[in-house]
Every structure is written in structure tokens, then in C-alpha cells.
Amino acid sequence: MNSPLNVAVFSSKPYDKRTLLKHDNNPNIQLTFFESRLSEETVSLVSQFDAVSCFVNDQLNHKVIKALKAAGVNAIALRCAGYNNVDLNAAKEIGIKVYHVPDYSPTSVAEHAVALILTLNRKTHKAYQRVKEGNFALEGLMGFNLAGKTVGCIGTGRIGLAFAKIMLGFGCNVLCYDPEPDPELHSLGVSYVALEELYCQSDIISLHCPLTKATHHLIDTASLQKMKDGVMLINTSRGALVNAQSAVKALYDGKIGALGLDVYEDEGSLFFEDMSEQIILDSVFQLLLTFPNVIVTGHQGYFTDIALDHIAETTLENLETHRLNQPSERQLF
């Protein structure tokens, strides 16, 4: 299988296109860009392609994967680490290989989680607006010292590790939960504890585990009840780790004191698009935006120059590996 590979690149924004083209010096990889998401509605765009390249909100369910195979596609090259949007069983059964980009830049997401913490705490977004309007009053801007606070980190893989290291640098006590503890992190001074203990001890909780059946709505009314009153909750992982309706209720009750979200359960129809001229019909999302102690960013944790370069380089490497029919540890099965 050494002939050139024709690749349909879905969800490709101008910055994706620029970065992929900057790194694509392989005449055997031919990229065609589609701005739209891949879904049951758009899969008909795929004809005469050997592979597709997709992102976090492309819909790769059984029906789409079957349609891709029927159109001659043999590989899906994800431009992301998470793969919860791909029906891997269907891909395996139907015979399409799936590749991902596991560690393009863990620090980019970890640093964004910290940016959300610092902004929620010291209210720099509000201070910026006030000062622009000549309002130098401090009432309402008071924060707390991070040093000495207890930070719970759920999931200590690549991103959780980077996050925990930063929080240790701030002088926080870091409690971690992961079914597979990291000995390096343990030696740096974090404590691995049971999830229940992490919930009840932490002033700040940050989620860094993947979205799986086991972690779907990990944060719901029951788990929130176990947390400290006024806890700060940060989710830069995947939206459905948090039951958004439970979070709204906990914000009303004061159980959640501050909420920072880079991801949202139903972000697929919102994020990565300019929706400023449209009415957003998701009432839970709209409600979240009304709270003064909630910050939502539109899945930009990964969005740094280095990360985009690594995503492009690795995606192109994955496609070349597939073209040459070589084994790859970035192939998901």
C-alpha cells in the first residue's frame, strides 16, 4: 500500500489548515480540507478518500464508520488525544484503523486549567473591565492565597501530572486519585487518596481523566454533596464528566463556589464556531453563563503554538505510518 494517501480533513479551521500545510512536506499525503464537522449529515462528502482526519466533536458512530468504509476509507487519524467520540468497537469490527495524538502538549491543557483557577480566584477578567471604565474599586475582587490550599487532581496521566507539578510549585497540598498512580508524582510529594477523601478534603478539584462509561457524570449531585462548601471545580477534560444540571443546582446552593469549564457536555453544536449572531437554545449552557462565579472557555486548553505544531506533525506521521502499513503505538487497536 505505497500509493499516495488522499485524506479528507474535517473540522479544519484556518489555523489547522495553516499548521498542517506548514508541516506537510510529504508528496504522498494529499490533504483536502472541510470546515464542517464529520457527522451522519456530512459523511456523504467523503468519496475517493483513503483516510479521514477528525477532531474532538466529529461524530464517529457506527453509522458514520460504516459509511466511511463503504466510501473506501481505511483509516481515521484523530488530531486529538481523547477518543470518546469514536465507536472503537465499530471501527474494529468494520475494519478501519484509528490513530490519535496522545501527548502533543500536556502542559498546554494543564496551564489552561491553572489559568481558569487564577482567573476565578483573583477575578482578573472583572478587574480588566473595571479598570478600562475607570473603576478602581476593589470591592468584590478579593481572592485567596493558593499556597497552603488543598488541590484535588482526578486523573494523573500526562496532563494531570503536569497540572499537579504546577500546583505543587504554588505551594499547594496536592491530593490525587487515579486507578493507576504515577510513582514519579508520588515521589514529588503528592498523596494518592481514595476519591471520597479527595472530594471532602479539596478546596479546588480539577478533572484530568478521560471520558469513559465509568467516568460519565463522575461529578453529579451525589459526588458534589461530598465536597467542601464553596469548592472550586475545574473541567478541562471532557464535558460529560460533569452533569451540567447538577452543577447549576450546586452553584445555586453555594456548594460550588467557582466553576471553570473549558469543555461542556453538549459543546458539539456550539464550540469552535462564531455563534455571536445566533440565539443559543441550550438553556443549561445559557444559565451557566449568568453566574458571576463561572468561566467558560470554548475548548481552547490545547490551543497553543507548540501543541498545534505537534498535532500536525504527529497526525502526518500517523498517516504516513498507515500508508506504509507499519505498526504504530498511536494506533488505538
Of 12, 19, 156, 314, the one binding ligand NAI by CB under 6 A: 156
124-132 and 106-122 are packed helices; what angle lies between their axes, rounded to 10 degrees? 60
Q: Is 322 a residue of the active site?
A: no
Cα dist. 144→128, 149, 173, 201, 322 in Å?
18, 9, 15, 17, 51
Catalytic site residue 320?
A: no
* Residue 267 CB-half CA count within 13 A: 25
* Residue with cell string 463522575: 218
Please tell me the number of Cα atoms within 13 Å of 245 on its side-chain side: 2
Interacting positions 39-98 with ligand NAI (CB under 6 A): 81-82
Angle between helix 158-169 and 106-122 (nearest 10) = 40
Which of 17-25, 131-139, 143-151, 178-186 is the region at the interface with ligand NAI (rule: CB under 6 A)? Answer: 178-186
Q: How many residues bind ligand NAI (CB under 6 A)?
A: 29
Among 152, 160, 239, 260, binds ligand NAI (CB under 6 A): 160
The contact pattern for ligand NAI, residues 298-317, with x = CB under 6 A and - = no contact, is -x-xx---------------
Out of 27, 179, 183, 327, the residue judged to bind ligand NAI by CB under 6 A: 179
Annotation says 79 is catalytic: no
d(CA 223, CA 279) in angstroms, rounded, equals: 33
Tell me the residue number closest to ligand NAI, measured at CB.
Answer: 157
- Part in contact with ligand NAI (CB under 6 A); list of ranges 41-49, 118-126, 138-146, 295-303: 295-303
Residue 28's alpha-carbon distances to 38, 212, 323, in angstroms, are 23, 35, 9
- The residue from 112, 299, 310, 323 that is catalytic is 299
Q: Does residue 196 contact residue 69 with C-beta atoms inside 8 Å?
A: no
Q: Going residue by residue from 243 to 272, which x/- string records binding to ligand NAI, judged by CB under 6 A?
A: -------------------xx---------
Query: Which residues are part of the catalytic machinery?
Result: 238, 267, 299
